[in-house]
């Protein structure tokens, strides 16, 4: 044990002498998440305000007077009246107008006869702001006509509503929100872990080859297994640190934006010792698994570039399970608890929703420990091959 601690101290001391390690492992994870959250929220707020203040160029053809008045009530609407059909597609594409509403010539007759009238709306589906605002105008106009018809026919409103649905929500709001956004949280720390473990593993193995110090390390009166374990633990620590600081950054960043009351309550319940401990406890064996796997992959690499090219494809086997965890219908079951990365993504969803089955949680933890032992064994086999390590 003393030998392993000696290796850990040696490698950590060397790594933290490098300012890049401190920046990548501590400073960036702490700052980047809250900065991204605040910047994105402010940009979205700015864009929404800007869109709401934009002038919309609306083309009208055969529009009744009351609809014309409804459009004119919004001073941001710039109206162009067409007396005959034109190439509205070209006019929209060249920016002359942004949307055109064509009423049938017999619109008044249809309305007076209580028939259904059809409005043709020429639009570009990509112009969401324009379509939303015009859709709101048409909806308000339609509601006005409907209410006038109901009043003229003297039909009580309750007769037009034969069925009224009353929902009794038996689940907690936290569960719905947790299941909806809980799958995104693992992206933040697992990708950070990957980056931290990758850089540390390359520096601890390939970096020593480039610095010509690997022979010195292996010549110490220490077993290769203890040297490997020490390096794997250091790589795991360098992977775990960004994950921890990313979570801290996420919590801090959410304090600087305005959240709906339901989300605010959800964040308060999420940031508890129990929930954070359950999440972080899963990351410990996973970080060891990552470090062991990466050391095994890059053990034979002789340069930083070669090591990076060998390890980079593994990221796909991390991203794909995380994507699967976001898909509807993919739940934490006894079949998915044994799938690495996917089980973490699904478990975090259950933890944030407050519905975690503790027996499944223990099984996930055990499976991750077994995977980490397997990865360490594989890396030991590679690390023991002097032809790969000393080349």
Residues 380 and 246 in one domain: yes
- 369 and 285 Cβ atoms separated by less than 8 Å: yes
The CATH number linked to 125 is 3.40.190.10
CA-nearest of 303, 361, 341 to 190 is 341
Identify whether 177 is part of a domain: yes
Q: What tokens were used for 345?
A: 């993504």
* Pairing mode of beta strands 99-102, 120-122: antiparallel
Alpha-carbon torsion, ordered 321, 323, 329, 332, to 10 deg: 40
Q: What is the pLDDT of residue 222?
A: 72
Cα separation, 251 vs 235, whole angstroms: 25
DSSP string, 168-210: ---S-HHHHHHHHHTTTHHHHHHHHHHHHHHHHHHHHTHHHHH
Q: pLDDT for 106-124, tens place per residue?
A: 998 989 888 999 999 999 9
2's torsion region: left (phi>0), alpha (psi -120 to 50) or beta?
alpha
> Is residue 154 located within the same domain as residue 181?
no
Say if residue 206 is in the same domain as residue 305: yes
Please state, in angstroms and rounded to a whole number, the distance separating the CA atoms of residues 197 and 341. 15
Angle between the 358-383 and 273-298 helix axes, to the nearest 10 degrees? 20
Token pair, residue 196, equals 């931290």
Answer yes or no: do 112 and 199 share one domain: no
**Domain closes at, from 100, 127, 160:** 160
39 contacts 79 by C-beta, under 8 angstroms: no
Query: Does 69 share its domain with 182?
Result: no
pLDDT tens-digit readout, 44-103: 888 878 877 788 899 999 999 999 988 888 877 889 999 898 899 999 999 899 999 999
Residue 212 lies in a domain: yes
262: in domain: yes
Same domain, 178 and 287: yes
Does a structural domain hold residue 50?
no
Residue 93 lies in a domain: yes
How far apart (Å, rounded) are the C-alpha atoms in residues 353 and 356?
8
pTM, whole model, 2 decimals?
0.71
Contact 295, 381 (CB under 8 A): no
Q: Does residue 373 sit in the same domain as residue 224?
A: yes
Residue 103 domain-assigned (yes or no): yes
Regarding whether 251 and 153 lie in a shared domain, the answer is no
Residue 44 lies in a domain: no
Quote the domain boundaries for residue 179.
2-38+173-389
Tokens 């006509």 sit on residue:
145
Task: For residue 154, report the phi and psi dihedrals to the nearest 5 degrees.
Answer: 55, 45
Indicate if the pLDDT at residue 172 is higher than 60.
yes
The alpha carbon of 161 is separated from its chain's Cα centroid by a whole number of angstroms, namely: 41
114, 135, 160 - which closes a domain: 160
45: its two tokens: 């707020």
Number of domains in the chain: 2
- Looking at the fold, whether 199 and 239 belong to one and the same domain comes out as yes
133 vs 140: CA distance, rounded Å: 11
Give the whole-angstrom CA distance, residue 243 versus residue 312. 19
Last residue of a domain, which of 110, 125, 160? Answer: 160
* DSSP-derived secondary structure letter, 232: H
Same domain, 293 and 233: yes
Q: Which residue has the tokens 């223990």?
A: 362
245-286 tens-digit pLDDT: 877 777 777 666 666 665 666 666 666 778 888 888 999 999
pLDDT at 259: 64
Within this chain, do residues 219 and 360 fall inside the same structural domain, yes or no? yes
The yes-or-no verdict on residue 150 having pLDDT over 70 is yes
Do 244 and 337 lie in one domain? The reply is: yes
Q: Residue 322 pLDDT > 90, yes or no?
A: no
* 48 within some domain: no
């Amino acid at each position: 044990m003393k030998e392993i601690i000696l290796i850990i101290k040696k490698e950590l001391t060397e790594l933290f002498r490098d300012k890049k390690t401190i920046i990548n492992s501590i400073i960036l994870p702490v700052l980047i998440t809250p900065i991204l959250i605040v910047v994105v929220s402010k940009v979205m707020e700015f864009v929404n305000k800007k869109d709401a203040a934009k002038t919309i160029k609306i083309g009208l053809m055969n529009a009744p007077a009351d609809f014309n008045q409804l459009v004119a009530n919004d001073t941001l609407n710039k109206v162009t009246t067409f007396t005959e059909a034109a190439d509205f597609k070209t006019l929209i594409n060249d920016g002359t107008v942004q949307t055109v509403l064509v009423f049938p010539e017999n619109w008044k007759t249809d309305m007076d006869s209580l028939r259904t009238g059809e409005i043709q709306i020429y639009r570009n589906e990509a112009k969401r702001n324009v379509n939303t605002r015009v859709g709101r105008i048409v909806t308000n106009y339609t509601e006005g006509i409907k209410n006038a018809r109901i009043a003229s026919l003297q039909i009580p409103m309750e007769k037009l509503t034969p069925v009224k649905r009353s929902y009794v929500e038996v689940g907690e709001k936290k569960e719905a929100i947790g299941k909806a956004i809980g799958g995104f949280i693992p992206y933040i720390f697992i990708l950070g872990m990957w980056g931290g473990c990758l850089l540390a593993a390359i520096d601890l193995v390939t970096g020593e080859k480039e610095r010509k110090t690997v022979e010195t390390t292996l010549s110490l009166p220490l077993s290769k297994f203890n040297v490997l374990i020490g390096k794997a633990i250091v790589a795991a620590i360098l992977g775990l640190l960004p994950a921890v600081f990313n979570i801290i950054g996420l919590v801090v960043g959410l304090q600087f934006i305005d959240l709906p009351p339901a989300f605010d309550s959800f964040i308060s319940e999420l940031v508890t010792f129990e929930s954070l401990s359950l999440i972080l406890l899963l990351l410990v064996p996973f970080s060891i698994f990552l470090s062991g796997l990466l050391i095994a992959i890059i053990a034979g690499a002789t340069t930083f570039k070669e090591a990076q090219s060998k390890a980079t494809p593994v990221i796909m086997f991390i991203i794909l399970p995380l994507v699967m965890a976001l898909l509807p219908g993919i739940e934490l079951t006894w079949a998915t608890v044994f799938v690495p990365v996917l089980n973490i993504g699904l478990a975090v969803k259950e933890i944030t929703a407050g519905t975690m089955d503790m027996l499944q949680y223990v099984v996930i933890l055990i499976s991750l420990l077994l995977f980490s032992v397997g990865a360490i064994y594989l890396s030991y086999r590679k690390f023991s091959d002097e032809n790969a390590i000393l080349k």
